[in-house]
Amino acid sequence: MKVRFASSKERAPDQDNGLRVLYGPGKRVAYKLRWYLIVALVSSPLLWIAGRLLFDELRPEMPAQLSVPSTELRASVSGTISDLPVKTGQTVKPGQLLVQLDNPEWRLRLEQLQPGDLHRDDSLGRSAEAIAASTVKLQDQMVHLYKGLQRQGGLSSAELLQSEVELNAQKLALLELQRRLRQDDFPYEGEPIQNLRDTREREWIKGRIKLLSLRSGSAGRVAEVLVNQGENVGPGTLLMRIEQAEEPLLWVYLQPKQGREARPGQLLEVEMPDGSWLEAAVISQPDLARRLPPGLSSGVGGNNLALQVPARFLEPLPAAWRVDQLPLRVRFPLRWPRLWPG
């Protein structure tokens, strides 16, 4: 077959062997269009890939994760869950009861330490104490009388001294009687040292019982309840997580080469799970590099190390998207390269 690079058909497409063909040019245009269509179909995947790479280079997307401020409620003492007045998803107010614990051993010990109501009927001993006190009083009056007589010369010093000795003996007998009566009351009233120990132990138990009532420190929402009623818990057991009413924080993970873009106040566009876009702004420059959290697609390098950048939404986040550790995608506003000064 002979190949011609400059045929007569190209010079005169409406001539065929000296005859005029009216449909020649139209037929040639159809072949050209078909060829263009084939070229477009073959090259469209390459064009799409090239366009996507160019768009990603001009406006890259970075992984991000939503962080809802939350607090963990843990048991500070041992006890049994006696009441759970709140449920998952419920809004709580400051001071609201979240978990009520109970410790029967502490309550039983507190009852045992309560002072008794026993009274000893010792009328004879009290009568003897009254007589001894009256005797001391009479002897004291006698000493004063002897002192007057001794000043007048009607009584010797020896007799006055004998009277004072008798007074001291009566006082000593009264003190001994009171001591004996006090000892007899110990089984009913308790010894002073033991009473002091019991009082201190009662105060300690009362303080621990107050810790059995766990209340909310601030307004928020119950994100998760991790215990059931009747369950035994110990100190440090995680009971529930409370999401605070503050606006959630957005953690953006950038490649190290993109760190210069993360300036305070830099705007970001955040793609929500339903396809909508919300605006956010960078809070501060990155000061921490860490690995991507599980669930985020890698796009920051083979070792998954990225700069962690904090950002906040510029508008209130819908309640439906207040989900802790929600994976998101963000991108910086498109910036066309400047090809000319101006």
Amino acid at position 5, single letter: F
Q: What is the pTM of this model?
A: 0.54
Both 118 and 183 in a single domain? yes
Identify the H or E element spanning 43.
Answer: helix 24-58
Report yes or no on 198 lying in a domain.
no
Residues 80 and 214 in one domain: yes
Same domain, 117 and 89: no
In a domain, 163, yes or no: yes
Please check the confidence at residue 300 and state whether its pLDDT lies above 50: no
* SS3 (DSSP) at 67: strand
Indicate if 253 and 237 belong to the same structural domain.
Answer: no
pLDDT for residue 338: 45
How many domains does the chain fold into?
Answer: 4
Q: Answer yes or no: is 197 within a domain.
A: no
pLDDT tens across 36-58, in order?
A: 778 777 777 776 776 666 555 55
Q: Can you tell me the distance from the alpha carbon of 68 to that of 74, in angstroms, rounded to the nearest whole number?
A: 19
Boundaries of domain holding 224? 70-103+206-244
Residue 172, C-beta contacts closer than 8 angstroms, at least 6 positions apart: none
Cα(75)–Cα(294) distance, integer angstroms: 29
Summarize the confidence of residues 175-180 as an average pLDDT.
80
Report which listed range, 90-104, 146-160, 187-201, 246-260, is most confident.
Answer: 90-104
Same domain, 33 and 167: no
- Residue-averaged pLDDT of the chain: 78
The verdict on residue 303 lying in a domain is yes
Whether residue 290 sits in one domain with residue 314: yes
Cβ atoms of 306 and 300 closer than 8 Å: yes
